[in-house]
Structure 1
Amino acid sequence: MDTSRASVKEFQLDAVVIDGKQPALIGATVEDVFGNEDGHQIRYKTLSWQFVALLMIAEVVSNGMLSLPSALAVVGIVPAVILIVFLGLFALFTAKLLIDFKLNHPEVHNMGDAGKILFGPVGREILSLGTILFAICACGSELSSGQQALSTLSNQGLCTMYLLLIFAVATFLCAIPRTLSHLSNLALVGAFLILAAGVVGMAGAGASPVPDRVINATISTTFYEAFLAITNPVFAYAGHSRFFMFVSEMRRPQDAMKAAWCLQGFATIFYVLFAVVIYVYIGNTVQSPAFFSLPPKWAKAAFGIALGNFLISGSLCTHTAAKLLMIRFFRHSRHVHSHTFLGWFTWILLCFGAVGIAFVLAIAVPVFSYLIGIVAALFASWYTYGVAGFFWLHDTYYLEGGRKALSRKWAGTVIAVLTVLLGAFICVAGTFVSIKLIVEAYADGLVGHPFTC
């Protein structure tokens, strides 16, 4: 299923007719997102694959890992570990399809651009909106994790709303740099911090194991409870919606797969190790986030180290939402590449708006944690898994010979279709589970009130 092409700044596709139709893509001149940057004040295509890997790790391997041990408490060690490994390999496979699509279409900067190629203007708007919503909700999730860390460190010494506001301001300030290269050094710190926090968390669990803990290799459960646990590892890998942006700012987009290997290899190994160690020492009473199950001093140490990663990951999510709109407004204009007042004013306003909306959602929506699940089910399930199948089907059809190419590569076609169907299943089942959680939370009186401490 290899459809990779050498990435170029501009190229001309041959005009061909497939099944009596000439797609808009064929015969068109395609230009790289940022074009020729020689002599520009702001240059984007400066990232090496190593720093792209760090950006991916800092963003993807963040607070998502803290919910994994609780998945083992629901389905048992063996099914959960198999699932985490499978999803890691599957995410690597879909990353390959996504990167190949980007190399074939250098004008693609985000999921919205890809949606336009696949499904036309409607697809562009839906996938763009989904990317923005998911990025803002992910930012809100990082803000909530930051608030939890600050509350733990301060022994709940300050109103949670104020702590959330403090962390939101810090996230906004970190998101202001216009290019990912200016965030790459922070990504190095963020990747190290989340690794260190996980190690400290495992050490804390090992130093203070729960007496008479219950550990299960497998656990019989209902579909609802099982899929509820499955959503934790499914969405722990949810980061593909930003991959197009990362690859667009690489010096050599052809090296993007090296970064994907680093991300998925590190994430899969670290997820399995962290989830199993925490679960083995704490047992079925493990909480989510897992650091809440540690003794106070260990919880403070782990949260204190992870705090920096939550900040950096939140700023990357903010950057994603702002960058999509910035490029949408000013693509190929001087406001993208020059220090103009309008360009900087728009950028700062977009970053402020993204963090502001995330803050309001986190503090004003009592069911925000469940809302994140719905948005992730609706969009992340497609971005990380399902839509990759469409990428392969599209490029095989339009670039390699139409229906004959799909028939000739029948194995790839079957896998691509199954990828789409799996994404659809995760979307539907994940949305159902999230909505049912909200209903149960209201029925059990577990829903709080907005703007309270």
Structure 2
Amino acid sequence: MEKMGAFKAWANLVAYTVAVVVTGAPSVMASLGIVPVVLMSLLFCSIAYWSGMQYFHLRMKYPGICNLEDAGYLLYGPVGRELFGLSQLLFSIFLQGSHVILGSKALATLGWHDDCFLALGAVFAIMSWICNIPRDYAKLGGLAGVAFLSICSAIVFTMIVSGIEGPQVPAGAIIMKNIRAFGPSQPEGITATAALLQVTNLFLSFGSHTAFLPVLFEMKNPAQFPKVLRGLIAVNFLIYVATGVVIYATLGRYVVTPAFDSLPARFAQIAYGIALPTIIIAGCESGQIAAKQVFVRIFRSRPHHMTTNTLLGWGTWLSINAVTWGLAWLLASLIPFFPQFLGLEASLLWVMFIAYGALFFAHLNPAALLNWRAYWHHIAAAVVTVLVCAFICVAGTYASARSIAGELGGHHLVDTSLNLALADLYRLGEVAGVFSCARAAGAA
């Protein structure tokens, strides 16, 4: 196994975190206002950093830990291993599924056999499987660097085009961007449920916690991880806020998610083409986590299959990746509504990985409460982390469930796909059916 330096560690984490989801920032600002989004981004970044540092401290004290499954076993024995491991595996495969959905949309926009989304999803899953062949993060790091340049280029392109072309409205229509520092841009307002969905999606945009332990395990010098983490959080915050402010300022209430879809068709096609490497590699970063977890569990007692090129080792690795991407395609075919899927995913699973930081702190500092004067800032951070995660879990799950159940009101809000009930989305053709070859109306 080839070890990697700090730069490749940073590149892998950035590719995992700074994906096409950041282009949803303008829509979030159009729903909540610029100032609330910036303040919440600062809060979520602070929580992600503190929690990430607890992952680092746990790994430094127990160098043999290579994933959340190991951390769960350390803290709570066999039950913890299964709970932590299952949450990491499910989340990673679900995230792969969301990339299949977005990837099929990108391929359709580019004109790839766009009459059958089911086939496009399969094509994208195969492309992702091929890119997931490297077993080491050191080898994946080069692709991760390409992915970062890809999304940055796509964002800059979208900023320029949105500034030149402006909002896409019918000829002769009066443009009212209604850019707001606080509150929604739409005159009709936004429901509390829709606002909660936007907050949940915002929360999902920060942190790469499922990747922290695997990346730490493959670093040449894990002591450099705090520097990597600071770089990750800083870049994540700056790109998210800059993307949101600039594109929201040029398009106002007319922006949609992803922001590429706010551009004229010919420019949207170019934007998706530029961002395609990011869509693929960001999904591969999730695939690496899922496959490596299963791979390590199978060969932990026979490590030579992990560290050398054996037929059994490579055959198993390729097979595991084929299974995870096959499951991802299955999920994408069963759940072809990206925003609701992402919100539910964040509410049920993502919050767990952030909150695990508080558990790690408690394990590493069992006497913290007795010596609270020395640890008061960490105790306060742990409490805030748990409270925010609990709120996102309950509120986000509630909002996502209402959206999926068809109880989310309001048909004139900022982003149709976020604010219409799922039943209405099917009726209006905004979402394709389960295992349907038909393309959703809003897909490209």
TM-score band, normalised by shorter chain: 0.7 to 0.9
Q: Among residues 295, 298, 313, which one is paired with 2:264 in the alignment?
A: 295
How many Å separate the matches in 1 of 2:119 and 2:386?
43
How many Å separate the matches in 2 of 1:251 and 1:104?
16
Over residues 228-269 of structure 1, what are the superposed CA-to-partner deviations in whole Å (9 max), with x where a residue is unaligned?
Answer: 111121001142111100110000000011111111111100
Counterpart residue type for residue 335 of structure 1? H
How many Å separate the matches in 2 of 1:91 and 1:301?
33
Counterpart residue type for residue 148 of structure 1? K
How many Å separate the matches in 2 of 1:70 and 1:407?
43
Match status 1:66 vs 2:16: no
Counterpart residue type for residue 52 of structure 2? A
Shift in Å, 1:100: 1.4
Match status 1:267 vs 2:239: no
How many Å separate the matches in 1 of 2:425 and 2:106?
25
Match status 1:436 vs 2:402: yes
Unaligned runs of 5+ in 1: 1-42
Shift in Å, 1:169: 0.7
Counterpart residue type for residue 213 of structure 1? K
Change (3 A) 1:161 1:443: closer
Alignment of 1:31-46 (within 5 A): 43-44=1-2, 46=3
Q: Among residues 385, 388, 392, which one is paired with 1:426 in the alignment?
A: 392
**What is the match of residue 363 of structure 1?**
333
How many Å separate the matches in 1 of 2:251 and 2:217?
43
Shift in Å, 1:350: 0.5
In the comparison of the two structures, how many residue pairs are matched? 406
Shift in Å, 1:313: 1.1
**What is the match of residue 219 of structure 1?**
183
Residue 55 of structure 1: SS of its match in structure 2?
Answer: helix
Q: Among residues 249, 257, 260, which one is paired with 1:280 in the alignment?
A: 249
Shift in Å, 1:68: 1.5
**What is the match of residue 433 of structure 2?**
449
- 2:113 and 2:120 in contact (8 A); partners too: no
Q: Among residues 202, 227, 246, which one is paired with 1:233 in the alignment?
A: 202
Alignment of 1:234-253 (within 5 A): 234-253=203-222
**What is the match of residue 344 of structure 2?**
374
**What is the match of residue 344 of structure 1?**
314
**What is the match of residue 381 of structure 2?**
415
**What is the match of residue 32 of structure 1?**
none
**What is the match of residue 143 of structure 2?**
186
- 1:94 and 1:388 in contact (8 A); partners too: yes
Change (3 A) 1:444 1:158: closer
Normalised TM-score (structure 2): 0.87
Normalised TM-score (structure 1): 0.85
- 1:165 and 1:359 in contact (8 A); partners too: yes
Match status 1:114 vs 2:71: yes
- 1:68 and 1:232 in contact (8 A); partners too: no
How many Å separate the matches in 2 of 1:410 and 1:216?
38
How many Å separate the matches in 2 of 1:226 and 1:426?
12
Change (3 A) 1:330 1:405: farther
- Residue identity over aligned pairs, in percent, reads 33
Shift in Å, 1:136: 0.8
Over residues 383-424 of structure 1, what are the superposed CA-to-partner deviations in whole Å (9 max), with x where a residue is unaligned?
Answer: 1x2111111111011xxx575345652342232233222222
**What is the match of residue 119 of structure 2?**
162
Shift in Å, 1:297: 2.4
- 1:393 and 1:406 in contact (8 A); partners too: no
Over residues 132-170 of structure 1, what are the superposed CA-to-partner deviations in whole Å (9 max), with x where a residue is unaligned?
Answer: 111111111112221111111218744222222111111
- 2:207 and 2:233 in contact (8 A); partners too: no
Shift in Å, 1:340: 2.2
- 1:63 and 1:142 in contact (8 A); partners too: no
Shift in Å, 1:187: 0.8
